[in-house]
Amino acid sequence: MSSHLLSLAIWVPILGALLVFVAGSERRATARWLALAVALAGLLVTIPLFTGFDRTQAGMQFVELSPWVGAFRINYFLGVDGISMLFILLNSFITVLVVLAGWQVIEEKQAQYMGAFLIMSGLMNGIFSALDGILFYVFFEASLIPMYLIIGIWGGPNRVYAALKFFLYTLLGSLLMLVAFIYLYLQSHTFNLLEWHQLRLDFIPQLLIFIAFLLSFAVKVPMWPVHTWLPDAHVEAPTGGSVVLAAIALKLGAYGFVRFSLPIVPDAAHYAAPMMIGLSLIAIIYIGFVAIVQADMKKLVAYSSVSHMGFVTLGFFIFNTLGVEGALVQMISHGFVSGAMFLCIGVMYDRVHSRQIADYGGVVNTMPKFAALFLFFAMANSGLPATSGFVGEFMVIMGAVRFNFWTGFAAAITLILGAAYTLWMYKRVVFGAVANDHVAEMSDINAREFLVLGLLAVAVLAMGLYPFPFTDVMHASVDNLLRHVATSKLL
Amino acid sequence: MLNQFVAPDLYPAAPEIFLLAMACVILFVDLLASQRRWITPFLSVASLVGAALLTVLTASEFSVLTFSNTYINDALSSFLKLLTYLSVATALIYGRGYLRERNLDKGEYYLLALFATLGMMVMISANHFLVMYLGIELLSLSLYAMVAMDRESVRATEAAMKYFVLGALASGLLLYGMSMVYGATGSLEISVVAQALEQGAVNKTVLVFGLVFLVSGIAFKLGVVPFHMWIPDVYHGAPTSVTLFIGSAPKLAGYALAIRFLVSGLLDLAVHWQTMLLILAVFSIVLGNLAAIAQTNIKRMLAYSTISHMGFMLLALTAGVQGGNTTLAFPAYITALYYVVAYVLMALASFGMIILLSRKGFEAEELEDFKGLNKRSPWFALMMLILMFSLAGIPFFIGFWAKFAVLTVVVASGKVAVAVFAVIMSLIGAFYYLRVVKCMYFDSPRDMTPIQAGADLRILLSINSLAVALLGVFPQKVIFLCQYVLVRTF
């Protein structure tokens, strides 16, 4: 079956971005309408991926294969399964919202801003659909460039430091992954990911490859203790940057575990599982406490992201269907919820130009509509049933209890912690009397902002009430993955 | 005796003869037409084009020897010569406006450039140690004079002196090494030396002793640690157009030097020279990357970056032979060739950017001069962004593939630890390339003076930078070309 949907999902935003650069450099209005059109086109071409997806199949679909660099047998090899397809959809959806969110607030070089996000979106679609090691790597590393620029050009006061830290941290991991890929290539004479899944390796090479992958993906997730770049990057990035980072970029690391670490080196993954579970629990609990004491709203949500992503890694390394599927649901849900949280903070920041919790109070008096939506997302962030945040966390906790009661128990502490830090922040920011003149001058959200947050609210609610379409799509692929993980690949 | 004399076949050396003749013609034309300043550069580039045509015409399927087997015309020489013309012509066009604004656009500059080119061509086609030496000297002497072109500049004069003294020392080392090779094998003809080694009737101790000096000489010409001392000073002190010249085409000749001596001549000693090169490479990568961090002058920074890049290139050469097993030889030398080609392309454009931002009475050679370039000229900021990320080895640019190819052969040769070390160093390297991007994009400009540069420079520089990007998206063709050339040659 030959289809070019995945190529379109990658290249429509990227080529569209070039158009935005060229046509929009003079006039802001042209730049943003064009960017919106490109983002919508990008979303449109991904919809057939969902509707045309064969749920019963575990293998790759919408496959495209053509030689790219013959000298190294590198192919332009794309395809999605039930796991990666959802992220492409999520990514294209979030991109539309990000373009809308940057509509008015970005005053400087808007064409470049929009273009950078579109390129980022295309590259991330590439990461999720690449089935060739080097193709994956190329997208993975190239996506650092637009993010570096987004943080550095449109970020806050400490943006240069944050941008550099983000870039170098991520590069360190990915370079070691490159060496691991080359090693795998020399063993298997191919960069084909699906063949790597069948490759047999000794334990020591497996372990070294696992470590190389771990460094790369753990930084991206980010796992404790290599998470320190995230709060910096989030705080300094413009709203759109934070949203893309939280909603999509963090998923790359977790996706890497599913696509590379678990199936390629399953024996090493099993061997390292206790350590991974330990690190995940530290992220969930310790970082949860760290989040409580934050005075900066963005930092608080950033730490809560680390904590939530701890759930994802926990879900993967307990190796049962419930855990893995829960982790995947959690990834998508976190994409919606954390994106929404950053957008809410952005809405307030645009009006008051402060992210400090202490600078707010009584926002509900001036922005009732906004307060309602914000409350909804805060509830989702703390895992309230009927929101998407609950589904994933609950599945992972169930999976963890099945794996080991105390692991599940420890993970469940997050339900208390999540509620504590999110709702306490919400209380201080939104409730009470109007704190100062700035808050008194705040105007409620306009139609554009309402649209952005409303769309996300619908997604969060839909996924919370009826998660079946999501889990149904991924079910066959997850089973297939777990079969791979369960078989030893030792020589 | 007389009847044994056979007139040498001049045909394989036609491009060299043509270029020499043209250089002499230009010498006269320049004297006569000193009022029309465009004539000399125009004729220089035209002669390079002519030489390119002749090179294509005289290119042959097989290796052709002439001048009593001291001169060779093979696929590698044709390929490298064509690239040399291209790189020299680009450097001349980039530098024209720069030289004119500083009253340095004398005919001598172009003549020296042509003689330097001739020297590189001789190096590329040498099949004899002494012919190689002649080429090196012709190249070096021209470069010494070019560095000192700006007589008023103390820095340039100092750089030229330093370059000359150290260069003379390196030539001495090379000659000494050659004398050892001659002593051990009884010949200086590269293929005869190789045969003698194969037959095994040679004194290896003497040869290895000589090899140390040869490798030192090669290392000096490539500028790798610990023979790199001249690089930062010369790159910094020379007029930027000369830096551009030194930083590009001579690297191609340097590759030819290494390949002809070490691979064509002394492949049987690979175990020995690979170890030496490995040490040189590792130290170059460390020192080049670490020292570049401390630089505020972009010419110096790029000089140190050159050192680390040449280290990477040498790393590829160390992967060729493992204990008598030569299966990796082709991939390794192809990779090194690809690396040099990619590097020359990037170096040309990045020094070209410095020239672009400079104007009359102003040298844009400090890192600070790149501040806010995105506000002054988004297009050229983007071009520089491409170049910096490419030099840092980030995809989708050609620098990534070069680095990737080197890592692949290094891992294939079993040196995983070296590969890991190299990538960690290139992480450090990424820092200073990112700093340039930071200056261009994150900082405010110091002055908003529009870029004053000729259309020729702007267009060529854009093509050059876009080539770095496009050859990164479609790397297959160049890799294939390098492969084809080396397979045809050996």
Cα A120 to Cα A174: distance, rounded to the nearest angstrom: 17
The residue among A142, A151, A154, A143 whose CA lies nearest residue A110 is: A154
CB B267 within 8 A of CB B278: no
Q: Do B479 and A109 touch (CB under 8 A)?
A: no
CB B256 within 8 A of CB B77: yes
Mutate to test the interface with B, among A20, A26, A179 (most CBs of B within 10 A): A179
The residue among A173, A125, A5, A134 whose CA lies nearest residue B396 is: A134
The C-alpha angle B469, B470, B475, rounded to 5 degrees, equals: 105
In Å, how far is A70's CA from the nearest CA of chain B? 7
Cα A437 to Cα A427: distance, rounded to the nearest angstrom: 19
- Identify all chain A residues contacting B439, using CB atoms and an 8 Å cutoff: none
Amino acid identity of residue A196, one-letter, is W
Residue A66 bridge partners (DSSP) = A76
Task: List CB contacts of A416: < 8 A, sequence separation 6 or more.
Answer: none
Please tell me which residue, B263 or A30, carries the higher pLDDT value: B263
**Residue A17 CA to chain centroid, in angstroms?**
21
Task: Indicate the average pLDDT of chain B.
Answer: 89
- The per-residue pLDDT for range A315-329, each reduced to its tens digit, is 888 888 888 888 888
In the block, which residue shows the tokens 């080539």? B467
In Å, how far is A422's CA from the nearest CA of chain B? 33
Residue A78 bridge partners (DSSP) = A64, A130
The residue among B224, B299, B288 whose CA lies nearest residue B254 is: B224
Whether B408 and chain A come into contact, CB under 8 Å, resolves to: yes
Q: Quick one: average pLDDT of A302-307? A: 89
Residue A233 bridge partners (DSSP) = none
**What are the φ and ψ backbone dihedral angles of A356, each rounded to 5 degrees?**
-75, 135
Most distant CA pair in chain A, distance: 70
The per-residue pLDDT for A1 is 46
The residue among A49, A147, A43 whose CA lies nearest residue A96 is: A43
Of A72, A152, A171, the CB nearest to B438: A152
Cα B180 to Cα B182: distance, rounded to the nearest angstrom: 5
Q: Do A183 and B416 touch (CB under 8 A)?
A: yes
- Identify all chain B residues contacting A148, using CB atoms and an 8 Å cutoff: 434, 437
Q: Do B476 and A144 touch (CB under 8 A)?
A: no
Amino acid identity of residue A276, one-letter, is M
CA dihedral A84, A90, A93, A99 (to 10 degrees): -100
The per-residue pLDDT for A198 is 83
Residue A65, helix vs strand vs coil:
strand
Task: Indicate the average pLDDT of chain A.
Answer: 86
- The per-residue pLDDT for range B429-465, each reduced to its tens digit, is 888 899 899 888 888 888 777 787 788 888 999 999 9
Cα B341 to Cα A172: distance, rounded to the nearest angstrom: 26
The per-residue pLDDT for B404 is 92
Integer Rg of chain A from CA: 21
Q: Is the pLDDT of residue B275 over 70?
A: yes
The DSSP H or E segment spanning A74 is: strand A74-80
Of A72, A142, A164, the CB nearest to B394: A142
- The per-residue pLDDT for range B350-383, each reduced to its tens digit, is 999 999 888 877 888 888 888 888 888 888 888 9
- Identify all chain A residues contacting B469, using CB atoms and an 8 Å cutoff: none
Cα B95 to Cα B77: distance, rounded to the nearest angstrom: 26
Q: Do B480 and A70 touch (CB under 8 A)?
A: yes
Neighbours of A51 (CB within 10 A): 6
Whether B395 and chain A come into contact, CB under 8 Å, resolves to: yes
Whether B404 and chain A come into contact, CB under 8 Å, resolves to: yes
Residue B126 bridge partners (DSSP) = B71
Cα A406 to Cα B17: distance, rounded to the nearest angstrom: 84
Q: Do A171 and B427 touch (CB under 8 A)?
A: yes
Give the burial string for B88-115 (b: 16+ CB within 10 Å, else e): bbbbbbbbbbbbeebebbebebbbbbbb
The DSSP H or E segment spanning B192 is: helix B190-199
Cα B322 to Cα B160: distance, rounded to the nearest angstrom: 41
Residue B62 buriedness (CB in 10 A; 0-12 / 13-18 / 19+): exposed
Count Cβ–Cβ pairs < 8 Å, chain A vs chain B. 91
Cα A190 to Cα A347: distance, rounded to the nearest angstrom: 48
Q: Is the pLDDT of residue B469 over 70?
A: yes
**Residue B13 CA to chain centroid, in angstroms?**
22
Q: Quick one: average pLDDT of B416-422? A: 90
Mutate to test the interface with A, among B427, B479, B483 (most CBs of A within 10 A): B427
Whether B473 and chain A come into contact, CB under 8 Å, resolves to: no
Closest Cα in chain B to A138: B395
Residue B308 buriedness (CB in 10 A; 0-12 / 13-18 / 19+): buried
- The per-residue pLDDT for range B164-208, each reduced to its tens digit, is 999 999 999 999 999 999 988 888 998 888 888 888 878 888 889
Cα B67 to Cα B134: distance, rounded to the nearest angstrom: 14
The per-residue pLDDT for A2 is 56
DSSP letter assigned to residue B65 = E
Of B401, B416, B480, the CB nearest to A179: B416
Most distant CA pair in chain B, distance: 76
CB A78 within 8 A of CB A130: yes
DSSP per residue over A122-170, as a string?
Answer: HHHHHHHHB-BHHHHHHHHHHTHHHHHHHHHHHS-TTHHHHHHHHHHHH
The residue among A361, A362, A347 whose CA lies nearest residue A444 is: A347
Closest Cα in chain A to B484: A71
Task: List CB contacts of A93: < 8 A, sequence separation 6 or more.
Answer: A43, A459
Please tell me which residue, A56 or B288, carries the higher pLDDT value: B288
The DSSP H or E segment spanning A76 is: strand A74-80
In the block, which residue shows the tokens 């061997």? A271
Q: Do B404 and A134 touch (CB under 8 A)?
A: yes
Q: Give the Å distances, CA to CA, from A348 to A103, A355, A367, B227, B343.
A: 15, 8, 10, 59, 49
In the block, which residue shows the tokens 């790759």? A60
CB A227 within 8 A of CB A308: no
Q: How confident is the model at residue B3 (pLDDT cuts 50, 70, 90)?
A: low
- Identify all chain B residues contacting A176, using CB atoms and an 8 Å cutoff: 420, 423
Cα A289 to Cα A55: distance, rounded to the nearest angstrom: 40
- The per-residue pLDDT for range B308-359, each reduced to its tens digit, is 999 999 999 998 888 778 888 888 999 999 999 999 999 999 999 999 888 8
Q: Do A25 and B378 touch (CB under 8 A)?
A: yes
Please tell me which residue, A128 or A29, carries the higher pLDDT value: A128
**Residue A481 CA to chain centroid, in angstroms?**
20
Q: Are strands A61-69 and B71-73 parallel, antiparallel or unpaired?
A: unpaired
Q: Give the Å distances, CA to CA, from B274 to B8, B280, B420.
A: 36, 10, 19
CB A462 within 8 A of CB A372: no
- The per-residue pLDDT for range A225-280, each reduced to its tens digit, is 888 888 888 888 888 888 888 888 888 888 989 888 888 888 888 888 889 899 99
Q: Are strands B64-66 and B71-73 parallel, antiparallel or unpaired?
A: antiparallel
- The per-residue pLDDT for range B89-131, each reduced to its tens digit, is 999 999 888 888 888 888 888 999 999 999 999 999 999 999 9
Q: Do A72 and B407 touch (CB under 8 A)?
A: no
Closest Cα in chain B to A72: B405
The per-residue pLDDT for A462 is 87
Mutate to test the interface with B, among A20, A123, A138, A236 (most CBs of B within 10 A): A138
Of B408, B420, B441, the CB nearest to A149: B441
Q: Is the pLDDT of residue B402 over 80?
A: yes
